Amino acid sequence: MGDDGIGVRVVEKLKKRRLPENVDVMDGATLSFQLLNFFDEYDKIIIVDAVSFGKKPGKVYRFKLEELLEFKTGNVASVHDFDVFSVVKMVKTFSEVPEIVIFGVEAEYIGEGIGLSEAVAKAVPKVIKKILREVTLSRGRIRTLRRRQFPPAK
């Protein structure tokens, strides 16, 4: 669906990189509510998706989930059968929600077609660089991220 493939493209590129062993990379686009299973396993979840705020295509935004929950969710352009906000609300009813960071990339075209627009394709390395900053400390040291205990310790 055009620029909505930004998440998949970032995942493909990240899987080719050497990442800290405590970092998992997955394409969750088609997992729907199966994503609930992962909320208990991680301290931090990073989501990459296309957004439509009417700004310059390829612009990269970084949001904490709480910031987006305050915003009207209809502005997040996703064509998948899950809504991350619905998943989070569901998780909050029975569990603690991990830190969730969302990188949104302003889409130029969301519609039938394969491949990213030029502007969004140029944003892929920027998003990867931002994600790497999220999972490493300054000077390239690996940040200590731990898997959560399941079930969570009381």
Reported as a single tens digit per residue, the pLDDT across 60-78 is 999 887 776 666 444 444 4
Contact (Cβ atoms closer than 8 angstroms) between residue 11 and residue 21: no
Predicted pLDDT of residue 151: 42
Q: What is the mean pLDDT of the chain?
A: 76
Backbone angles phi, psi at 106, to 5 degrees: -60, 120
What superfamily would CATH give domain 2-140? HybD-like (3.40.50.1450)
pTM above 0.85? Answer: no
List the chain domain ranges: 2-140
